[in-house]
Amino acid sequence: METAIDNASLWDFLKHICDGLQSKRLADVFRFISFYPNETYGPHSHLRIEINYVKKGSCFIHLDKESVTFREGEIMIISSNVEHLFEAGSEGCTLMQLEFLPEIFTRFNRPDNDGNPLSSVFLFSEENRLIKITNNVRIMRTVQRIVNELEAKSPYYQHLVVMYYAELLILINRHMDEAFLPICANESLKKSIAYLRHHFQSNISIADVARHCDISERYLRILFAQHLKITPLDYLNQLRINKSIELLRNTELSIKEISFQCGFQSPQYFSRIFKQQTGKTPREMTR
């Protein structure tokens, strides 16, 4: 049986979401803020989901049993009701902050075309109480668009912000599917993932990764198979392809330049792997 919302226009649907928010607020915090070297804030917790992009410097988030470092260009997502202590790095820290109530994301928990809900429940569970994101310009830009719209309050900004929140939820879901590693995972696996993420644009091999982690290549493959259901090489190529898509869409670099910048040894190999992972050629992606 169809409902009124099923027959509504996109405009009506966006208005329905805005009007349906119990808090009537699209965000509680949206700003750029700077901290002095080693300045601390907390410990504290709140119902709001907190997203911070490190624009400059570095910082630490201290949880009950661990501390996680965030550097320039990285994004942190802190789930609701997670007690945490913020500490700026030795050179200070500038953040772009966005904090909003979970109800905004739960408004999008409707089935997609395949019948699967675009749910935020798993994303912000206890297991994923702190999410660290690197090399993801699209998520950063979406957060920035939300902050900009909330600050400017141009006509119909609420409708645009709702669409940006939907985009943000989709991008975070993609990140969780493609690149996320829980902070509580196997230490050797965490070390190998960190190495790959920081060096995937260089000419590295899986043997290099294993040596860095002081484990055998065989054990490295076992770790990836058990925890990520993927081979180390496939994961490395996935990082490189994700970066190449970003460069293809947002720069004027040639395919050859992008292939080398993303760590591939030849444009031909880059194109072959790109086709395998995306179903398109790099040239088709730019059309």
Q: Which pLDDT score, from 0 to 100, does residue 230 have?
A: 81
**CB-CB contact of 130 with 77 (8 Å):** yes
pLDDT digits (tens, 9 = 90+) for 1-32: 444 445 567 667 677 777 766 666 888 899 99
pTM over 0.85: no
Instruction: Dump pLDDT digits (tens) for 67-118.
Output: 788 889 999 999 889 999 999 988 999 999 999 988 888 777 654 444 454 4
Per residue of the chain (287 residues), give pLDDT as tens: 444 445 567 667 677 777 766 666 888 899 999 999 889 988 899 989 999 999 999 999 988 767 788 889 999 999 889 999 999 988 999 999 999 988 888 777 654 444 454 445 445 666 678 888 887 889 999 999 999 999 999 998 988 998 899 899 889 888 876 665 655 557 888 888 888 888 888 989 999 999 999 999 999 999 888 876 789 998 898 888 888 887 887 788 899 999 999 999 999 999 999 888 888 888 887 76
Return d(Cα 245, Cα 262) in angstroms, integer: 10
**CA pseudo-torsion sign 123, 125, 128, 134:** positive
Q: Are 270 and 259 in contact (CB under 8 A)?
A: yes
Nearest of 171, 24, 149, 22 to residue 98 by alpha carbon? 149
Write out the H or E segment, with its range, that includes residue 86: strand 84-100
